[in-house]
Structure 1
Amino acid sequence: MTADVTMTADTARSSGYFPVADGRTTVKFVRGLLGGKWPALLGVAVILLLGAGLGLVIPWGYGLMVDTAIDGGGVLEILRIGGWQIAAAIASAALTGLGIALSAQLLETALAGLRERMVGAALRLPQARVEEAGSGDLVSRATDDVNVVSEAISRGVPALATSGFAIGATIAGFGALDWRFLIVVLAVLPVHWIGARRYLRSAPPVYRQERAAMAVRAHHMLGAIRGLPTVHSFNLIDQSRDRVGNGSWSVVRWSMRARIVQNRLGGKANLAEFVGMATVLLIGFYLVDSDAITVGAVTTAMLLFLRLFGPIGALLMVMDEIQTGAASLGRIVGVVDLVENDLGRPSAARDESPVETPEAVEICIDSLGFRYDGADHQAVDDVTVTIAAGETVAVVGASGAGKTTLATLIAGVHVPDSGSVRIGGTDLAELPEEATPVLLTQEVHVFSGTVAEDLRIAASEADEESLQRALETVGAWEWVSLLEDGLDSAIGAGGHELTPKHVQQLALARLVLRDPSVVILDEATADADSSDADALEDAAQAALRGRTAVVVAHRLSQAARADRILVMDEGRIVEEGTHQHLSAAGGRYAELWSAWSRFRAAAQS
Structure 2
Amino acid sequence: MSATTGGATPEVSTEKLAIANFRVTMGYLGVEVRKQIWPLVLLAGIMTAAAALGLVTPRALGEIVDIADEGGATGEIWRLAGIMTASAVGAAVLAGLGVRLSARIFETILAHLRETMLAASLRLPLARVEAAGSGDLVSRATDDVSTVSQAIGSVVPALLTATFTIVVTFVGLALLDWRFLLVLVVVMPVYVNGVRMFVKKAPAMFAAERAATAERAHHVLGSIRGLDTVHAFELSQSLNGRIERHSWSVVRWFMRAIVLQNRLGARINLGEFVGMTTILIIGFVLVGSDSLTVGAVTAAMLYFLLLFDPIGRVMLLVNDLQSGAAALGRIVGVIEEADRAATITTAVDTKPARPVLGAPLVEIRNVSYSYSPEHEVLHDISLSIAAGEHIAVVGASGAGKTTLATIVAGIHRPSQGRVLLGGRDITSIDRTELARSTALVTQEVHVFSGTLASDLRIAAPDADDDRLWAALDLVDAGPWVRALPDGIETVVGEQGHHLTPMQSQQLALARIVLLDPEMAILDEATADAGSAGAGVLEASAEAALRGRSALIVAHRLSQAARADRIVFMERGRIVEVGTHAELVSLGGRYGKLWRAWSRGRTQS
Tell me the TM-score normalised to structure 1 length: 0.92
* Secondary structure, aligned partner of 1:325: helix
User: Structure 1 CA distance, aligned partners of 2:344 and 2:26?
Assistant: 19
User: Structure 2 CA distance, aligned partners of 1:312 and 1:151?
Assistant: 20
Match for residue 527 of structure 2? 526
The yes-or-no answer on 1:596 pairing with 2:579 is no
Match for residue 544 of structure 2? 543
Structure 1's 171 and 345: CA in aligned 2 closer, same or farther, altered over 3 A?
A: farther
The worse-fitting range, judged by mean Cα deviation, of 246-255 and 531-540 is 531-540
1:56 Cα shift? 1.3
1:346 Cα shift? 10
RMSD across aligned positions (CA): 2.0
1:107 Cα shift? 1.1
The yes-or-no answer on 1:486 pairing with 2:484 is no
Match for residue 147 of structure 1? 146
Match for residue 470 of structure 2? 469
User: Structure 1 CA distance, aligned partners of 2:366 and 2:326?
Assistant: 44
* Secondary structure, aligned partner of 1:546: coil
User: Structure 2 CA distance, aligned partners of 1:389 and 1:33?
Assistant: 47
Match for residue 29 of structure 2? 30
User: Structure 2 CA distance, aligned partners of 1:368 and 1:113?
Assistant: 41
Which amino acid letter does the alignment assign opposite residue 499 of structure 1? T
1:463 Cα shift? 2.0
Match for residue 187 of structure 2? 188
User: Structure 1 CA distance, aligned partners of 2:498 and 2:291?
Assistant: 86
1:35 Cα shift? 4.4
Match for residue 3 of structure 1? none
User: Structure 1 CA distance, aligned partners of 2:360 and 2:267?
Assistant: 69
1:434 Cα shift? 2.5
Structure 1's 41 and 198: CA in aligned 2 closer, same or farther, altered over 3 A?
A: same
Match for residue 341 of structure 1? 340
Query: For this pair of structures, how many residues does the alignment match?
Result: 578
Moved over 4 A (4+): none
Name which of 430, 433, 437 aligns with 2:431. Answer: 433
1:53 Cα shift? 1.5
User: Structure 2 CA distance, aligned partners of 1:375 and 1:596?
Assistant: 35
Q: Residues 14 and 133 of structure 2 are in contact (CA less than 8 Å); yes or no, is this contact kept in structure 1?
A: no
Which amino acid letter does the alignment assign opposite residue 321 of structure 2? I
Could you report, residue by residue, the CA deviation over 1:291-331 in whole angstroms, capped at 9, with x for unpaired residues?
11111110111000000001111112221111111111111
The worse-fitting range, judged by mean Cα deviation, of 517-526 and 527-536 is 527-536
1:260 Cα shift? 0.7
Match for residue 231 of structure 1? 230
Match for residue 417 of structure 1? 415
User: Structure 1 CA distance, aligned partners of 2:54 and 2:202?
Assistant: 33
Match for residue 165 of structure 2? 166
Q: Residues 13 and 133 of structure 2 are in contact (CA less than 8 Å); yes or no, is this contact kept in structure 1?
A: no
User: Structure 2 CA distance, aligned partners of 1:173 and 1:14?
Assistant: 59
Could you report, residue by residue, the CA deviation over 1:34-77 in whole angstroms, capped at 9, with x for unpaired residues?
34321221111111111111211111111111112222221211
Structure 1's 391 and 31: CA in aligned 2 closer, same or farther, altered over 3 A?
A: farther
Match for residue 307 of structure 1? 306
Which amino acid letter does the alignment assign opposite residue 453 of structure 2? A
Match for residue 517 of structure 2? 516
User: Structure 1 CA distance, aligned partners of 2:337 and 2:449?
Assistant: 30
Question: Which of 1 and 2 has higher RCO (CA within 8 Å, sep 6+)?
Answer: 2
Which runs of 5 or more residues in structure 2 are unaligned? 1-11, 347-358
Match for residue 284 of structure 1? 283
Tell me the TM-score normalised to structure 2 length: 0.92
Match for residue 379 of structure 2? 381
Match for residue 48 of structure 1? 47
Which runs of 5 or more residues in structure 1 are unaligned? 1-12, 348-359
Q: Residues 440 and 520 of structure 1 are in contact (CA less than 8 Å); yes or no, is this contact kept in structure 2?
A: yes
Match for residue 4 of structure 2? none
Q: Residues 363 and 387 of structure 1 are in contact (CA less than 8 Å); yes or no, is this contact kept in structure 2?
A: yes
Name which of 380, 391, 394 aligns with 1:393. Answer: 391
Q: Residues 361 and 518 of structure 1 are in contact (CA less than 8 Å); yes or no, is this contact kept in structure 2?
A: no
* Secondary structure, aligned partner of 2:207: helix
User: Structure 2 CA distance, aligned partners of 1:569 and 1:246?
Assistant: 39
The worse-fitting range, judged by mean Cα deviation, of 166-175 and 44-53 is 44-53
Which amino acid letter does the alignment assign opposite residue 417 of structure 1? S
* Secondary structure, aligned partner of 2:372: coil
1:489 Cα shift? 2.5
Could you report, residue by residue, the CA deviation over 1:510-536 in whole angstroms, capped at 9, with x for unpaired residues?
222233222111010012122322221
- Give aligned-pair identity as a percent: 53
User: Structure 1 CA distance, aligned partners of 2:177 and 2:495?
Assistant: 71
1:361 Cα shift? 7.7
